[in-house]
Structure 1
């Protein structure tokens, strides 16, 4: 950051992310999945924070996906305009709320931090501070900037042809080059970028993304062109290839861009078959991931109940649970498909970035725990307990899918990457295959009901087990409240705990047989009000790019 700010000047502050090994955050365009870091400022009147100066991102391959982001330590500088009316000798209190998504190969965790900085106001030009100044200066010096480069883009025989000329590109071999678009869906991110260079610049041949394939080239394409001599912001207008951008030789392949071949055709039978196989394997292994551990409580109760059931009952329960799991995966796949058609980029576990969803899941976990503890008992589709029946088994399967979504099992990444690039029907079939894989241990009971004879017989021990297994549900609710705190801060936690109080009261009243229609209506309206409080308002209409 700047050591101080002079009246009427532009100071520089930065948000520093120290990312643990094996984890990463995201660039302004996250690529095939993820979400960009966003900053929300609270500053004195007249102070104007600018846009993030984004460092050049790394290309992060995860099986069939390509993401753009950062690892290790990264600085996100922001210019801050200080009004001429600022008085020397005072301080400007700057508060920023940083909302970001940090992911590993297995799971993603949304997080939020509120940071405060008192920026002194003094006369004279201000240097950067001694502690972080050198690192921030390196970002400012190397971050992509406009450089007087002229660019054109065209769609030729299913290939996006991007040519750039002039400025620092003229008169030399650009070396390994790569184009990072500012918007998702413009190019196929995992596909290799090939091309050639000439005396005036270079030409890149890119595989079009979903949006370009669906709608064609509808306007300019903006992004960052990274070369061996620096990274530059460009805006390619639709038009023919610029002269002098080829003929001198092929472009060297970017270091981690993969072999010079296009991504496998997502509509091919081989890709589809492999995605189905990996989806089943990934869904099966998902049962062992930590996100699913709380649901093992309900699974254990359901299996224990089947120990003394007949073959027909075992088959019905197993099919109901399997149907719930498969439908849960189809719902998530359908939601991702809808977001894709709407032009948004979202990935596995996207719903856990929504405070309202996290709060509702915490309340559901609490209600399930209270049910297992014997506070109340119902005959509806909330839990698969002694009274849950087929509806309970179905609901248990669907709930298991929702709770499992923060985790990604081995093989799932390949299946998800392929599915997200497929047309609608094959994509949904891959998600259904994941559900079948996750439900496979239970589904075997539908095929061979005799396996239930190996389970322990029901008895008094089941009641003790049921009460003990309530505690994983309480632990899951506590973890979800922690996630809610990262997303919405203290206000979100207060609303979440208020909803938990309503859930506890409703459970107690049901256990006493005193929750009539009026009480249920009041609890429902209270819950809806709390959810509305946790739902962020729609963003304002975006202005022109800055």
Structure 2
């Protein structure tokens, strides 16, 4: 499986992902408000009012207008990046608050995720005047040294010298200044920024957070139904930033499922961050975390689940799916033969025919209850192994995908699973009287089980994640749907004349129903890969695909030797093996060598001791650097080769501007990161600069060339 990772790296960085900067960062601006043009953005200072009253305040705005596809960062930048910063120089009578950050958006570059802003963003800043501030006859000047990082498929640090003039007026003018300031903030960039700032929780809002081994389940009660929600953490390394956040709309709010960071070993006391319900509505929360294993219930009085598919909808779909099952080739002959029996005995008493229909229905219902009892026992017995999380459990998802694929192959016509089952139960159905009707119902259930109808699959998938009584109701509805056509015919035998005869149309219908099931398998495979850290998702997905290949072999066995108990046994054993294949992939701890801090002296000392050197020029805000390190440099294969070759590993961290690192980059004819350089042990040999897009083969080959 190791060959997948270089392919992923190449796809991600085919456009030359990297960070680039000159030998030094030149600040734009001359101390005025601007706007000033910098690389890929324009920056300026604006004010709601150029007067500030004694004891009053005024709101400024730091405005970034960005070129298309470029962005700056939120206060928690995510997996990489740095937020803008401003250092102020003001008279002692004035104080300036920190930048305030509007609600951000998610900025993905697989397999990582950043939080920030595109197009334009304004950061509000509040300036306060002391009550005894000295009045000014002329405006006083406030200066700000602003730093930022702007990124697209590469990142550029930037600086600006900005400033703005304010006049301090007497306290008696405070009301006028406030009125003018409020009017000015009703429109323009400041108005937009202030509307996007997170709000404190309202008095009637409530939050509940349950921390499970794999996720945080955040329930946000607002009193009204919410359809969208995202969580952005103020604290780094608590959540898996790149993971999708699943949401459940509730009648009085929303529930958000947030995957925990794999590096988070202990459950934190609180979940502190921002809940974004829309572009114009977000709230800051700091909610205690309760340890648990499942999502909290929304209300003790709520009788209907808040899931997007309600219980009543699922029950209705199950009933309709049961009716459709009668049209499957494995079930329709049973119904047709029973209808013929009704025609032959049309002179019999109608009440007697109805009794047989009821007994037939009982056979189906009892059979489905037996299947349900087995499923519930498995669910209860496996609760500690992940059944409580269902679709969050890789084991559950892989087994579900493999068996749905197996049934899909049958529906598509590769083999007829119903033949073996029909031959196994047909004898019982031949009994006379009520026993024959009962076991005909049992037979109908048995042969219907592999013929998953389109609407039935969604209902059963929902049922298995719900409380027992809802599961029971859905399975009972499914059974009644399957039994209803014959039950109706037994009450009205004359209606048998409208039944179509079995024919080729049934096979076509069955094959068409395989299409949505194959689509479900594709979705489950995608979901399975998302349940693992990014570096392992592709490998684990490959193992799942191997499992699907093995189960296809089981299907071929049933196709080659149909309706035989030996072939059925062999196919069952192969299918069980297929279900176990995805469990062969395990997350292996990768060996991480110690990276020493870079210095020119360290390179010289290592080469003087006849040690080769590998230097990783990187930065925390460089997304491509982080991915190269995760997928290549810190992989087991490359780390073992470093160890075998006795390579000294140096990390040149350029997160903060460092003139020594800048000079070393210039010496190898580079001006940005990522840059990777191999220095041979022989100081007389020139170093080799590797490409920005790394693969394991590139690194290993470079080591082999330079360390002979």
Q: How does 1:136-535 map to 2 (within 5 A)?
A: 136-148=190-202, 149-165=205-221, 169-170=222-223, 172-212=224-264, 214-215=265-266, 217-228=267-278, 230-239=281-290, 241=296, 243-244=298-299, 247-250=305-308, 261=527, 263-266=530-533, 271=538, 324-325=613-614, 351-355=653-657, 358-364=658-664, 390-393=682-685, 396-397=687-688, 400=689, 409=693, 433-434=695-696, 436-437=697-698, 440=701
TM-score (structure 2 length as normaliser): 0.41
Which digits, 9 at most, give the CA deviation of each residue in 1:25-48, with x for residues without a partner? 100111111111122121111322
- 2:112 is aligned with 1:65: yes
TM-score by length of structure 1 reads: 0.52
Say which SS state the counterpart of residue 138 (structure 1) adopts.
Answer: helix
Contact 2:226–2:250 (CA under 8 A) maintained in structure 1: no
Q: Any unmatched runs of 5+ in structure 1?
A: 252-257, 276-319, 338-348, 370-381, 413-432, 450-546
Larger radius of gyration: 2
C-alpha change, 1:89 and 1:267, in structure 2 (3 Å) is closer
Correspondence for 1:278: none
Q: Which piece of structure 1 moves more, 135-144 or 358-367?
A: 358-367
Q: What is the CA-CA distance between 1:164 and the residue it aligns to?
A: 1.9
- Aligned-pair distance for 1:273? 9.0
Deviation per CA, 1:140-170, whole angstroms, max 9, x where unpaired? 12321112232222222422111222xxx21
For 2:466, the equivalent position in structure 1 comes to none
Per the alignment, residue 95 of structure 1 pairs with: 143
User: 1:244, CA displacement in angstroms?
Assistant: 3.7
The superposition leaves residues 457-484 of structure 1 with CA deviations (integer Å, 9 ceiling, x where unpaired) of: xxxxxxxxxxxxxxxxxxxxxxxxxxxx
Mark the CA change 1:443 to 1:336 in structure 2 (over 3 Å): closer, same or farther.
closer
1:141 alignment partner, SS class: helix
Gaps of 5+ in 2: 1-46, 310-522, 543-609, 619-624, 631-650, 670-676
Distance in 2 (CA, whole Å) between partners of 1:268 and 1:368 is 31
Q: 1:270 to 1:80 in 2, by over 3 A?
A: closer
String of CA shifts for 1:309-362, please: whole Å, max 9, x gaps: xxxxxxxxxxx99x6448879xx889989xxxxxxxxxxx9922323xx31134
Query: Is the alpha carbon distance of 1:73 and 1:335 closer, same or farther for their aligned partners in structure 2, counting shifts above 3 Å?
Result: closer
How far apart, in 1, do the equivalents of 2:666 and 2:652 lie? 22
Q: Is the 8 A contact 2:652 2:661 kept in 1?
A: no
Partners of 1:90 and 1:97 in 2: CA distance: 23
Number of positions where the alignment pairs a residue of Structure 1 with one of Structure 2: 329
Give the conservation status (yes or no) of the 8 Å contact 1:150–1:234.
Answer: no
How many Å separate the matches in 2 of 1:269 and 1:141?
Answer: 41
User: Cα 1:81–1:130, aligned 2, differ >3 Å: closer, same or farther?
Assistant: closer
Contact preservation (8 Å) 2:616, 2:652: no
Q: Give the structure 1 partner of residue 73 of structure 2.
A: 26
Aligned 8 A contact 2:615 2:652 in 1: no
RMSD across aligned C-alpha pairs, in angstroms?
A: 4.2
Correspondence for 1:518: none
Residues 29-75 of structure 1: CA deviation (Å, up to 9, x unaligned): 11111111122121111322123221111211112111111112211
Distance 1:32 1:80, change over 3 A: same
Q: Which residue does the alignment assign to 1:134?
A: 188
Where in structure 2 are the equivalents of 1:98-113 lying within 5 Å?
Answer: 98-105=146-153, 107-113=154-160
Contact persistence 1:53–1:140 (CA under 8 A): no
Structure 2 Cα separation of the partners of residues 220 and 266 of structure 1: 24
Asked whether the 8 Å contact 1:37–1:101 carries over to 2, the reply is yes
Distance 1:437 1:56 in 2: 41
Measured in 1, the distance between the counterparts of 2:627 and 2:247 equals: 37
1:355-392 CA distances to partner (integer Å, 9 max, x unpaired)? Answer: 3xx311344467779xxxxxxxxxxxx998xxx98334
Q: Contact 1:14–1:136 at 8 Å: present in 2 too? A: yes
- Gap change, CA 1:150 and 1:264, over 3 Å in 2: same
SS in 1 for 2:683: helix
C-alpha separation between the residues in 2 aligned to 1:115 and 1:268? 43
SS where residue 271 of structure 1 aligns?
A: helix
Shift of 1:249: 3.7
**Cα distance in 1 for residues equivalent to 2:706 and 2:57:** 69
